[in-house]
Amino acid sequence: MRRRLPVVIAVIQAILFLGHAAVYVTWLKLWGVPGEPALLALRITLAALSVSFVTASILAFRSSNWFVRVFYGLAATWLGFLNFLGCAAALAWIFYGIAWLSGWRSSGPVIVATLFGLALLVGFYGILNGARIRIRRVDVNLPNLPESWRGRSAAFVSDLHLGHIRGVRFCRRIVEMTAALAPDIVFIGGDLYDGTRADPKRLAEPWSELRAPFGTYLIAGNHEEFAGRASLKAAENAGIRVLNDRKVVIDGMQIVGVDYHASASARRFELILHGMELDRGCASILVSHSPHRLAVAEQAGISLQLSGHTHRGQLLPSRWIVERIFGPYAYGLRAFGKMMVYTSSGAGTWGPPMRVGTHSEIVLIHFDGANGVR
């Protein structure tokens, strides 16, 4: 991974250069070229913005102080605005072409000002929408459900991405909202941490205040690989039980956790589940960060899989890309053969602290329901 890192950084930076160039060229061609001082200021500003996110990310993985946190937050927010401005630039050329063919040759300034203005408004909406957390209630009817589990509930929280943008206050808010639901058990579906350099112990502390009768369980997501083992130890110190590649039986319900790294390989995933000797005559819940390898889990006899990872794309048009990759399992409650799958859009955000076309959520699962959403 470290050997590929320079290549990954170079590719990301090249994409960001192209995105900024598209916005720059569109503005100049359709709006008009400003005077020399303004043009120079525009070039310098866009050049600085184009390298801001990569620079801030490198700093964020190496250090944690107020300057880095502010810089990273601003750079990540600008990345979200760039997403919408890039879409606006593409649409501007389409509308300009239509207007030009229709004989409206002077339409450029109106089109680019309107679309870029809308892009900025959508970005501000995304910030507000990303800060709002919804409670999603799901009824699930599992075969062979132990009688003692009828009427019980589980809270499922995924993808908090605690770090430079979402910090202790955000974590405490999530814990308080989860506690208010009075779940019998709590599952954290990975990416509790963002992976940037931070104090994992301090970030996880609010979880020590949560009292669920059957406890709180965590499996590692892909971002825990960046955060390292210290992050999982910090979670354990806060009273969270790490369930990586383990099975526990609680009142007859089989609770299984497989971390992201292990589930990435179909063969390894299969061997881990096989080694757990699941009782097919008893209901089971698998917490696995990503809704991939579903056939492996279904063949192992899992009753319900809980996943996150997708964020449901978080922003348009990424949502459509994610839905192409994961299909109907990108979000929500779906059946896969005899197994039910719930994929959460996550409680937090990665990169831009924005959501457009998606929402942040905490999921409350009520057992012995009718396989639906309330």
* 139 and 124 assigned to the same domain: no
Question: What is the spatial distance between Cα 232 and Cα 138, in angstroms, rounded to a whole number?
Answer: 28
Residue 57 has pLDDT above 60, yes or no: yes
* Residue after which a domain boundary falls, among 130, 164, 182: 130
CATH code of the domain covering residue 316? 3.60.21.10
Q: Identify the pLDDT of residue 6.
A: 85
pLDDT in tens, 130-163: 999 999 999 999 999 999 999 999 999 999 999 9
* 227 and 164 assigned to the same domain: yes
* Residue after which a domain boundary falls, among 73, 96, 130: 130
Q: Residue 311 — very low, low, confident or very high, per pLDDT cuts 50/70/90?
A: very high
Question: What is the spatial distance between Cα 371 and Cα 3, in angstroms, rounded to a whole number?
Answer: 46
* 184 and 54 assigned to the same domain: no
Residue 291 has pLDDT above 60, yes or no: yes
* 22 and 76 assigned to the same domain: yes
Residue 122 has pLDDT above 90, yes or no: yes
* 119 and 179 assigned to the same domain: no
Residue-number span of the structural domain to which 95 is assigned: 5-130
* 25 and 157 assigned to the same domain: no
pLDDT in tens, 156-177: 999 999 999 999 999 999 999 9
* 350 and 262 assigned to the same domain: yes
* 109 and 165 assigned to the same domain: no
Residue 318 has pLDDT above 70, yes or no: yes
* 121 and 156 assigned to the same domain: no
The sign of the dihedral angle between the CA atoms of 7, 11, 16, 21 is: positive
Q: Identify the pLDDT of residue 370.
A: 67
Q: Identify the pLDDT of residue 372.
A: 65
* 124 and 151 assigned to the same domain: no
* Residue after which a domain boundary falls, among 86, 107, 130: 130
Q: Residue 373 — very low, low, confident or very high, per pLDDT cuts 50/70/90?
A: low
Q: Identify the pLDDT of residue 230.
A: 84
Give the phi and the psi of residue 95 in degrees, each rounded to 5.
Answer: -65, -35
* 206 and 291 assigned to the same domain: yes
Q: Residue 225 — very low, low, confident or very high, per pLDDT cuts 50/70/90?
A: confident
Range of 61-70, 209-218, 362-371 with top mean pLDDT: 209-218
Average predicted confidence (pLDDT) for the chain? 94
Number of domains in the chain: 2
Kindly state the average pLDDT of the residues 50-58. 96
Q: Identify the pLDDT of residue 67.
A: 95
* 146 and 292 assigned to the same domain: yes
Q: Residue 4 — very low, low, confident or very high, per pLDDT cuts 50/70/90?
A: confident
Residue 236 has pLDDT above 60, yes or no: yes
